[in-house]
Structure 1
Amino acid sequence: MTALRRIIAALTILLVFSFPLLAQTRTATRPTPPPFLRDTLAATRWADSIMADLPLERQVAQLIMVAGYSNRTPGYEDSLTTLVRTHQLGGVVFFQGGPMRQAKLNNRLQAASNVPLLVAMDAEWGIAMRLDSTVRYPYQMTMGAMPASADNLIYQMGADLARQARRLGMHVNFAPDADVNNNPNNPVINFRSFGEDKYAVARKALAYLRGMQDNRLLTSIKHFPGHGDTGTDSHYDLPLINKSRGQLDSLELYPFRELINAGAAGVMVAHLSIPALDTTRNRPSTLSPNIVTKLLKNELQFNGLVFSDAMNMKGVTKYFPSGLADRRGMEAGMDVLEFTENIPMAISQICQAVDDRTVTAQQIANRCRRMLLAKYWAGLNRYQPVVLDNLLADLNRPESEVINRHLTEASLTVLTNTRNVLPLQRLDTLRIASVSVEATAPTVFQNRLADYTTVTPYQINSKATDAQIAALLDSLNRFNLVLVGVHLNNIRPGAKYGIQPRTVELVQKLTNTGKAVVTVFGNAYALDAFTDVDQARALVMPYQLTTHTEDLSAQLIFGAIGAAGRLPVTVNQQFRVGDGKTIAPIGRLKYTIPEEVGISSTYLAQQVDSVVNQGLQAKAYPGCVVQLAKDGKVIFRKAYGQHTYDTSLGGAAEPTRLDDLYDFASVTKVSTSTPALMRLVDAGKFKIDGTMGQYLPAYKKSNKDTLRWRDVLTHQAKLKAWIPFWQTTKNPDGTFKNKTFTNVRSNRYPIEVTDSLFLFKKYPRTIFKAIKDSPLNAKKEYVYSDLSFYLYPQIVQRITGVPFETYLKDSLYAPIGATTLTYNPRRFYPLSRIVPTEYDSLFRKTLIWGRVHDEGAAMLNGLSGHAGLFGTANDLMKLTQLYLQRGQYGDRQLIRPETIAEFTRYQFPELGNRRGLGFEKPAYKYNGNAPRLASPASYGHSGFTGTFTWIDPAVGLNYVFLSNRVYPTRNNNKITELGIRTGVADAFYRAINRGI
């Protein structure tokens, strides 16, 4: 009875572990043939014609791929060429080098071969895995974090990689990696796997495979039958996978089965010891008939090319010497051997196996024929050498960067988000520092963070002393938010992911401040090393340290982009597979490249450079900054020229920078007065059809009492164009009149016009009285006038009770992060960051630098509604993007859409008046104040100092141009004569219309 029970139990176990395979065998459909076996009769004829001239030894040679390096000596290249020519090998697998060097070597090797070589490479994350100066895509584990809805991006990556490969003369990519990485300590697969979810691994690997194969690049899925659950690197030893057949069927084999059924062209077999599949001691899977022939070819019905993993790896050579290992591989059923250490010995041993009848000549012939069919499919029947001209440019097209950015963006994972701190909101309440751990200089992450608002940067690394750490923590006390970037410089577990003991201490101390948002630029498994990191206010995982992950993680934090990534592996109890928060974008500017919005970066740069350089050559301005955005995406930012031509008049002839501050001149009108009035309209405190007398009691009974603001803001209220207030301070002999200016500051003369010129404190009353008393023009018609804009600061303060600048900064600039927008910038910024304007030889007798250029505004302590605002192009664009987004920016609706629409529409088209309320608009027939290609929906403004901004909702255009064209003199008007500012805008329109 006991014996019978044992038999029943044994049968039960056998059925349990056999059932998955039996069920799959019953229900499986025949796999889709690999693509190279679906070709026409012409492929077979070509293969047969080659076979006719190949004796056995040459057929065997066709099944061997030699290793090739393009970063070695000429002597090495000579010997490699001789090896190929002597043995007429089937292919070459390239490793380290550079694209141009490899292309030349490739052409040389192909010339030495009677049958074109099949060229392969391990390029799992792009050709950059092996060659410098080429595109590097994210690691597979990074892409494993992407939601299923983004898998098409992986297909696009595969297609793009195929294009690059063909351009480089490459025919096979030993990818994708179809291993399921369910062992966190895996030293060799790890980040190369899509993750631990077999379904996601299969789905994403299939997208990658199809992208390549649909675009004529052969693939080789790896590492069969599954290398994901190993603690040993097969490069250095033979790993043991001690799993049952049922476990292997359920997990490791699942992705391979799915990809084979979908038509995979190749399968790479790993060097693994798997007793459940082959009990022969120390026999690697590459040399196992049970695994290669019985399982892969017979049970899974794979009839594509079976590639070995590199035959120089210790996983095979530890127990089988070169030559014998190659023979055993062929006996096991291997089709192609790569990186054979001793090629003459391998060919000899395989031919001996045919003589010994352990491999038949027909088997060799069949494998050789499949190799030739693959070559035909890859286009080698019409082999052409790699063209060297433009090779680097062709391999590094901007479209590849767009794919790269999209892949990175889709993978970003937010693991914790306490109280929805991300994306950051209420910027006006935040005092932000950024700390880059394991960095010694400002990082890409920190630089991008600073594009969104004021962020004070710090760097610290594991070599820091206790005193330095204490000083950093003390400095952080004045901030209420700390954005921590952990910059790990190694992705591999063997190197502990680049984590030093002090790294853990630093991150813990920063997290324990209670105000840290932590971004870990490194392997997901690295999270297990960090104590208390789950207690951060938010935790962002970008999975690796690259320019793109740093850039886009910063943009995620500020809500320019969202996050939908999910952890592809289990790290520990706190961080498990599938974890992740969905974050929606909130409409702040995104920074990217033109191709992301369908514009050619080359064409756009050429067009803009052509216009700007024309102005530079004509000395229309010493320098300028151009910033362009479309659909909320900043796609062009460039600084040109210098601050000044030379230093003879003062100032510095240093290169212009993107973060330089310029005097906006009349662009001040649409960046201070106009938005302030819009907000007051929204609050019901200002009516554009009200009169001047209603809001300025002193104007009652004046000739301006009944003037409507709608007419005033459209410059048809009969106001004089301007009043030269400074001229009234002069005596006929050129000296200043009594009670106007003095050379020394005092309580009576507090208004600083220059370092040595101070205005009488009551003199502004004279200015405002002159405006009130000024006569009106005889006719109601369009006459551009500054006068009303002198008055809006008074109106705003009278209505709100808050000084004009304070009101603007608190209610408008700070909430959108436009913190450089300011009057009198010398209070906050060094002169090196402020671009000089004009040398004033008439009034102030000095270089105007960091003070308002306009004389009238200067006499009002630098603050007026018509001039005086300074700032960077980037911060001005935030404001103009607010207009383009109908009053919304970030988390705030600061102006109602209806108010934006009202202020930016034509007010009096029937009168031929082209103005909106405060804004310039295109004329009905072209004139120089608007771009020629602007739509009727567009609007903007120009400034006397050489500034310009234009917004066009019809095409999502946002454009800022800042220059100091008045340096050294306002008499230089070449910027207008040459149409530079509108010319740049028209170049942008042409680029939009042309597309990629």
Structure 2
Amino acid sequence: MFLRKVRLFIAVILLVNMLNAQENTPPPPEFLQYTHSTWVDSIMKSLTPQERIGQLIWVSAYSNRGSEHRADILKTIEKWNIGGLVFFQGDPLTQVKLMNEYQNAAKVPLMGAIDAEWGLGMRLDNTISFPFQMALGAIEDNTLIYKMGKEVAQQIKRVGLHLNFAPVADVNNNPENPVINYRSFGEDKIKVAEKSIAYMQGMQDGGLITTAKHFPGHGDTSTDSHYDLPQIDHSLERLNNLELYPFKELINAGINGMMVAHLNIPALDPSGQPSTLSKAIITDLLKDQLGFKGLIVTDAMEMKGVTKGNLPGVVDKNAVLAGNDVLELVQDVEKAITEIKKAIDKGLISQKDIDTRVRKILAAKQWVKLNEYQDLPLTNLLEDIHHPQALLLERNLTEASLTVLKNEGDIIPLKRLDTLKIMSVSIGTDTKTTFQKTLDLYSEVAHFTLPTEASLEEVEAIQKVFPHYNLIIVGVHDDSPRPRNTIKFSEPVQSFIQALPFEKTLISYFKNPYSIDKLNNMENAMGLIASYQDSKSAQDLTAQLIFGGIGANGRLPVGIGKKFKAGDGLSIQGGIRFKYTLPEDAGMDSKTLIHGVDSLMNEAINAKATPGGQLLVAKNGKVVLHKAYGLKKYNDTTKVNTEDIYDLASVTKISSALPALMKLHDEGKFDLNNGIGDYLKYFKNSNKDNASFKEILAHQAGFNPYITYWKNTLRKNGSYKWSTIKKDSSAGFPIKITSKMWLHRKYQKKIFKAIKKSPLLEKKEYKYSGLLFMLLPTIIQEITDENFVDYVNQHFYDKLGACTLTYKPYEKFDKKRIVPTEHDFMFRHLPIHGSVHDEGAAMMGGVSANAGLFSNANDLAKLLQMYLNMGSYGGERFIAENTLKEFTKVQFPENNNHRGLGFDKPYLKYRGKNSNTAKDASSDSFGHTGFTGIMVWIDPKEELLYVFLSNRVLPTRENTTLYKLNTRTNIQQVLYDAIQ
């Protein structure tokens, strides 16, 4: 009698409170149309009363537990005709094999379910994990969450399953919640509802049964229902207005399933029964008052929140009596069926009521097409799951979640890299992190790590170096795969964080944002980014955000003590530097691109056209391929990596003096109509002084291609002339060629003299020549009154963050990072490794505009992207747009000269085979090649950038296989083929 009055009271209150909100009856779930279908009718006729009860029972299954577990599952299926399996840990291939076998053993097709709130990666190895719901709660664009739902549905179906126990619709308003927390969309009931609906609709549109959980709301608990029964003491009004809100909205939006939690909620049922066993909550509230007609599933019936004080079998019967359709993870199937049969016999529940629930389950099975069941194929399973669009979606979701909480002085994105001396500290790890590796892509950064249990001595060692840097980037990492609201750092580590020099510190927080409140002073940092979790994508993209490769629009889904409130977050504009991403993000097809490039590179390596190589491809400012191939040299095991540095040979021409000339042209200090003599008096009135720089840079001035300067150092017997080269350095011989070759200090004058006196060709027509580029460093020094190397470093390389783009790399980098070139047995008589391959540049002390620059693909690409951007990069303008357009256009087409000013251009009449570019390269494109096996090319029409680095001259320059295979141009064509 007492309970009846309570239920009546609940009904009256709820009706009053919900009249305005529920003017219309909620739409029934779509699957209910099959409740009395021909297939459902036929199945019902074939089932005994006991077998019908079996359909209500779903048990746990694993794909990593071996043959004994498999046999137990098969026995349960065959003996009890259970309705479904709930899969947990394992791998996708075994999962599909087992599900095929289990389905073939079942009298009625099994509903396959999984608890995959953030995708298959929550349960299965070698699958994709999407961001946790708290991170999704930060996303402003809910269409991304819808797309995630649709993708999750496709992946779950691909492994033979049909139902996902998601979304979590709990409003997490208790920061210390031990079981929901990061699994919730946040503390704002409206946003939780909106995002839950987006996720649900995506999954259901993808053909999946979904269940909102954990009804009637598990967000404000401090007890984990896996271990005990949580109690929620809120009033009925509070529950109706807050906890129940997302569930009501989901019902109105047409969700097809609901999972009931194990909770003690006196305001809804004063008996103390877990909500899973409460008729007042399930039948009176969920079914009658809220009008939910879909599939009602219990939370796991093995959890202590429901088993404590309840016997196996009896607890399952009580769950059925309360109104549940599905008993999830029943402990003892036989006891459950026995007790439910007893309840029918006693008239506690009718067979008709059982049959109604079975029909609902069968209707859901027909909706997911189990009436047309066929074994799933195993072929291409992993490829189907890890398809590029799914991988890109995971990155897009992570990117959209990043939340900037502090940005004093607009420190994010970083600007003026030439003024910054940066160190990074990754806290909670003892190895270099993905975060730090991505930081390296943008600028020179000194890295440190601080393990979770670091000692005071380790902490003090890092603190001692703080004064040497003016920017400290800190990554606070998690020691758990799931972001718990805990701090496990040692006392010295916590003290280290709380005593950081915040006035020059930028913090990236890869832990649960709630835990920021447990570390003092974090909010005082110049920059603070909430990244929500410690995934590789979160680390990678946070580093990109710091340097402006991407922007940020995330908003905090929960409050953090008194430091930050829900909804906080600053918008950051990105796109000022490279974004490192997947081909599909730039409108390119991964399969075409990767397979095409890989096969051509492997062909070249197998043909010994080059020992290895390094490639970078960017489109629309997005790096879509950045990869190393092969070895640094033949007969070795040292593989090339993307950090290795190559000799750029003639690509130096467009990468050193040329940007300097363009800048000086902008400043009115360099005139293309002038000649060499206008800047170098020594050349005044020489035969070279009649040619303009426009003619010379376009290789139209009639200059000879090259002079073999090194031959002038030799006597007839092959030994060096005493006035040119000595074995030891001295004041008279200070220019290092090798450790045993030192050039006379005035030999550069002989080089200039040789250039000055060299004859001209009979006609001014196109003839490639490098003579001017030997002079340009000196010309630029004359114009600027600055050291040439200092000038290009200061005005270009340092600002670009291109630390490996340098002359004489052996002075800055470990020789192991520098890829060797030719075995020079003509001039230097040793293998060339670390110094410039070109003999003329070597005799200029390693600094020339003809050759001498070294770089990895990534740093060189920054300069090239600046060209592609028509003079700007990193939020700074380097060269005027009109100037770049002038230098990159064909200058003398009437003479069949395809060249720009310094830049190579496509041949005027044909492309493709035997051409210098791919057939699809536009006429606007430009670039250059290098003798050591280099090619760079830029196509403004497609916003496409291509860097190919190799050392094809190892061991000898006579190896021209790379040219014969046309590898560089063939790869370039693949890029166009991959554009969708």
TM bin (shorter chain): over 0.9
Query: How far 1:932 moved relative to its partner?
Result: 2.6
- The separation in 2 between residues aligned to 1:128 and 1:601, in whole angstroms, is 22
Query: How far 1:179 moved relative to its partner?
Result: 0.4
Matched with 1:540 is 529
Matched with 1:7 is none
- The separation in 1 between residues aligned to 2:103 and 2:18, in whole angstroms, is 47
Amino acid at match of 2:94: R
Matched with 1:4 is none
Task: List aligned pairs for 1:218-229, cutoff 5 A.
Answer: 218-229=209-220
User: Is the Cα contact below 8 Å between 2:592 and 2:977 reproduced in 1?
Assistant: no
User: Is the Cα contact below 8 Å between 1:452 and 1:558 reproduced in 2?
Assistant: yes
Q: For residues 786-821 of structure 1, give each alpha carbon's deviation from its aligned partner in whole angstroms, at most 9, with x where no partner exists.
A: 011112111211111111111100000010100111
Q: For residues 928-974 of structure 1, give each alpha carbon's deviation from its aligned partner in whole angstroms, at most 9, with x where no partner exists.
A: 32223211111100001111101111112111111111111111111
Q: For residues 405-431 of structure 1, give each alpha carbon's deviation from its aligned partner in whole angstroms, at most 9, with x where no partner exists.
A: 000000001111111111111100000
Matched with 1:276 is 267
Amino acid at match of 1:447: K
1:640 counterpart SS class? strand
Amino acid at match of 1:530: L
Matched with 1:642 is 631
Q: Please state if 1:314 is matched with 2:309.
A: no
Query: How far 1:773 moved relative to its partner?
Result: 2.1
Task: List aligned pairs for 1:256-295, cutoff 5 A.
Answer: 256-280=247-271, 282-295=272-285
Structure 2 gaps, min length 5: 1-8
Matched with 1:36 is 31
Query: How far 1:325 moved relative to its partner?
Result: 1.3
User: Is the Cα contact below 8 Å between 2:935 and 2:947 reproduced in 1?
Assistant: yes
- The separation in 1 between residues aligned to 2:976 and 2:11, in whole angstroms, is 68
User: Is the Cα contact below 8 Å between 2:802 and 2:862 reproduced in 1?
Assistant: yes
2:349 counterpart SS class? coil
Matched with 1:628 is 617
Q: Please state if 1:399 is matched with 2:389.
A: yes
- The separation in 1 between residues aligned to 2:16 and 2:878, in whole angstroms, is 63
User: Is the Cα contact below 8 Å between 1:187 and 1:492 reproduced in 2?
Assistant: no
- The separation in 2 between residues aligned to 1:853 and 1:876, in whole angstroms, is 18
Q: For residues 481-518 of structure 1, give each alpha carbon's deviation from its aligned partner in whole angstroms, at most 9, with x where no partner exists.
A: 11111111237687725444443222123x23632111
- The separation in 2 between residues aligned to 1:429 and 1:20, in whole angstroms, is 66
1:514 counterpart SS class? helix
Counterpart selection for 2:246 from 246, 252, 255? 255
Query: How far 1:702 moved relative to its partner?
Result: 1.6
User: Is the Cα contact below 8 Å between 1:488 and 1:498 reproduced in 2?
Assistant: no
Residues 446, 26 of structure 1: alpha-carbon distance in 2 compared, 3 angstrom cutoff = closer
Matched with 1:833 is 817
User: Is the Cα contact below 8 Å between 1:586 and 1:889 reproduced in 2?
Assistant: no
Q: For residues 238-294 of structure 1, give each alpha carbon's deviation from its aligned partner in whole angstroms, at most 9, with x where no partner exists.
A: 1111111111111111111111111101000111111111111x2011111111111
1:52 counterpart SS class? helix
Counterpart selection for 2:665 from 673, 681, 697? 681
Matched with 1:594 is 583
Q: Please state if 1:299 is matched with 2:289.
A: yes
Amino acid at match of 1:291: I
Amino acid at match of 1:911: N
Q: Please state if 1:137 is matched with 2:130.
A: yes
Counterpart selection for 1:159 from 142, 150, 165? 150
Counterpart selection for 1:929 from 904, 916, 930? 916
- The separation in 1 between residues aligned to 2:540 and 2:21, in whole angstroms, is 51
- The separation in 1 between residues aligned to 2:641 and 2:241, in whole angstroms, is 59
Amino acid at match of 2:715: N
Query: How far 1:856 moved relative to its partner?
Result: 1.1
Q: Percent identity?
A: 47
- The separation in 1 between residues aligned to 2:483 and 2:692, in whole angstroms, is 73
Q: For residues 549-585 of structure 1, give each alpha carbon's deviation from its aligned partner in whole angstroms, at most 9, with x where no partner exists.
A: 1111110111100111111111210121111111111
Query: How far 1:533 moved relative to its partner?
Result: 0.6
- The separation in 1 between residues aligned to 2:484 and 2:621, in whole angstroms, is 43
- The separation in 1 between residues aligned to 2:860 and 2:355, in whole angstroms, is 71
Query: How far 1:693 moved relative to its partner?
Result: 2.7
User: Is the Cα contact below 8 Å between 1:20 and 1:250 reproduced in 2?
Assistant: no
- The separation in 2 between residues aligned to 1:21 and 1:691, in whole angstroms, is 91
Counterpart selection for 1:100 from 93, 96, 99? 93
Q: Please state if 1:986 is matched with 2:973.
A: yes
TM-score normalised by the chain length of structure 1: 0.95
Counterpart selection for 1:241 from 211, 229, 232? 232
Query: How far 1:335 moved relative to its partner?
Result: 0.9
- The separation in 1 between residues aligned to 2:937 and 2:501, in whole angstroms, is 46
Matched with 2:431 is 441
Structure 1 gaps, min length 5: 1-13, 647-651
1:496 counterpart SS class? coil
User: Is the Cα contact below 8 Å between 1:836 and 1:849 reproduced in 2?
Assistant: yes
Name which of structure 1's ranges 214-223 and 771-780 shifts more when overlaid on structure 2: 771-780
Corresponding pairs, count: 969
Task: List aligned pairs for 1:522-537, cutoff 5 A.
Answer: 522-537=511-526
Query: How far 1:735 moved relative to its partner?
Result: 2.2
Matched with 1:654 is 638
Matched with 2:108 is 115
Amino acid at match of 1:393: E
Query: How far 1:392 moved relative to its partner?
Result: 2.2
Counterpart selection for 1:74 from 42, 67, 79? 67
1:65 counterpart SS class? strand
Matched with 1:191 is 182
Amino acid at match of 1:373: A
Amino acid at match of 1:937: D
- The separation in 1 between residues aligned to 2:111 and 2:757, in whole angstroms, is 89
Amino acid at match of 1:568: P
User: Is the Cα contact below 8 Å between 1:716 and 1:782 reproduced in 2?
Assistant: yes
2:858 counterpart SS class? helix
- The separation in 1 between residues aligned to 2:658 and 2:15, in whole angstroms, is 72
Q: Which portions of structure 1, spanning 4 or more consecutive aligned residues, are displaced by more than 6 angstroms?
A: 14-17, 491-495
- The separation in 2 between residues aligned to 1:408 and 1:494, in whole angstroms, is 18
- The separation in 2 between residues aligned to 1:28 and 1:242, in whole angstroms, is 29
Amino acid at match of 1:30: T
- The separation in 1 between residues aligned to 2:206 and 2:814, in whole angstroms, is 55
- The separation in 1 between residues aligned to 2:114 and 2:620, in whole angstroms, is 39
Matched with 1:852 is 836
- The separation in 2 between residues aligned to 1:402 and 1:224, in whole angstroms, is 33
Q: For residues 27-55 of structure 1, give each alpha carbon's deviation from its aligned partner in whole angstroms, at most 9, with x where no partner exists.
A: 4312122121246x9x7111111111222
Q: For residues 296-338 of structure 1, give each alpha carbon's deviation from its aligned partner in whole angstroms, at most 9, with x where no partner exists.
A: 1111111010111111111111132221111111111111111
Task: List aligned pairs for 1:864-879, cutoff 5 A.
Answer: 864-879=848-863
User: Is the Cα contact below 8 Å between 2:33 and 2:363 reproduced in 1?
Assistant: no
Query: How far 1:772 moved relative to its partner?
Result: 1.7
Query: How far 1:25 moved relative to its partner?
Result: 5.2
Residues 644, 15 of structure 1: alpha-carbon distance in 2 compared, 3 angstrom cutoff = closer
Amino acid at match of 1:615: A
Matched with 2:162 is 171
Q: Please state if 1:749 is matched with 2:719.
A: no
Residues 773, 955 of structure 1: alpha-carbon distance in 2 compared, 3 angstrom cutoff = same
Matched with 1:783 is 767
Residues 228, 20 of structure 1: alpha-carbon distance in 2 compared, 3 angstrom cutoff = farther
User: Is the Cα contact below 8 Å between 1:497 and 1:522 reproduced in 2?
Assistant: no
TM-score normalised by the chain length of structure 2: 0.97
- The separation in 2 between residues aligned to 1:275 and 1:842, in whole angstroms, is 93
- The separation in 2 between residues aligned to 1:501 and 1:653, in whole angstroms, is 44
Q: Please state if 1:802 is matched with 2:786.
A: yes
1:251 counterpart SS class? helix
Query: How far 1:547 moved relative to its partner?
Result: 0.6
User: Is the Cα contact below 8 Å between 1:278 and 1:291 reproduced in 2?
Assistant: yes
- The separation in 2 between residues aligned to 1:658 and 1:47, in whole angstroms, is 59
- The separation in 2 between residues aligned to 1:438 and 1:201, in whole angstroms, is 31
Q: Please state if 1:213 is matched with 2:200.
A: no
User: Is the Cα contact below 8 Å between 1:176 and 1:208 reproduced in 2?
Assistant: yes
- The separation in 1 between residues aligned to 2:942 and 2:521, in whole angstroms, is 48
Counterpart selection for 1:569 from 549, 553, 558? 558
Please report the RMSD computed on the Cα atoms of aligned residues, expressed in angstroms: 1.7
